[in-house]
Structure 1
Amino acid sequence: MFSQTTELMVKIFIGGLPDNIQEMDLAILVSLHGRVETIKIVRDRATGKCKGYAFLEIYSLQDAKNIVSTLNGETFKGNVITVKVSEEQSTVKTAKPKNNQVFKSKRPRLQR
């Protein structure tokens, strides 16, 4: 369950990935060095092949630093990978609208 407080997640970038990489491959590699929340491999829409990089959300800054220091410059599936903390940070928040905004449905309402 989500708590009412905002938890900071650290986003990391991993580059130099082979085009046939799967999420489970990255999960196995990275989870040995820190706790992973999400994995997003960037793929070509037409072919479904990896574009060579991915973004991962890590639970803590300490885990992210450990992952970067351990894996940056290492060889993974024949490629030297680049691992660094991403410029943008992401957070996990409760589902409250910002500035008292009201969420509107994207479907048009039927007129009666």
Structure 2
Amino acid sequence: MVKIFIGGLADNIQEMDLAIFVSLHGKIETIKVVRDRATGKCKGYAFIELLSLADAKNIISMLNGETFKGNVITVKLCEEEAPKKTFKPKPSGQSQGQNVKNKRPRVQR
């Protein structure tokens, strides 16, 4: 999947309006308008996922800098997210050649 960012959206934007506007230039898989939890108003940006990089490039070239609902929008390809680090415990014991410090037992007070 290819993800694009759309910024500069009005606070009263609806997903369907944005989907119709963007889908004229490429096939949309998912759309996520980012909203304020308290008010439900759009924070001014959205993310759209597409299957094709060609569709993403077409949408970017056609819509970046255009006016939508009275606002000039920014459309760009999202940066690849760094993979999330997962916790991997270090192997314990002397067999791994590591110095293992013995912890003192906790004292109940």
Task: Say yes or no: TM over 0.5.
Answer: yes
How many residues are paired up? 81
CA shift at 1:88, angstroms?
2.3
CA shift at 1:19, angstroms?
0.2
Q: TM-score, normalised by structure 1?
A: 0.71
Aligned match for 1:27, one of 8, 19, 25: 19
Aligned match for 2:8, one of 10, 13, 16: 16
CA shift at 1:10, angstroms?
0.4
- SS class of match (1:29): helix
CA shift at 1:59, angstroms?
1.4
Using CA pairs below 8 Å that are at least 6 residues apart, which structure has the higher relative contact order? 1
The runs of 5 or more residues in structure 2 that have no matched partner are 82-109
Percentage of pairs with the same residue: 83
1:79 aligns with 2:71: yes
Find the structure with the greater CA-based Rg: 2
The runs of 5 or more residues in structure 1 that have no matched partner are 1-8, 90-112
Work out the CA distance in 2 between the residues paired with 1:86 and 1:49. 22
Aligned match for 1:40, one of 32, 52, 61: 32
Q: Give the corresponding residue for 1:51.
A: 43
Q: TM-score, normalised by structure 2?
A: 0.73
- SS class of match (1:66): helix
- SS class of match (1:83): strand
- SS class of match (2:37): coil
Higher strand share: 1
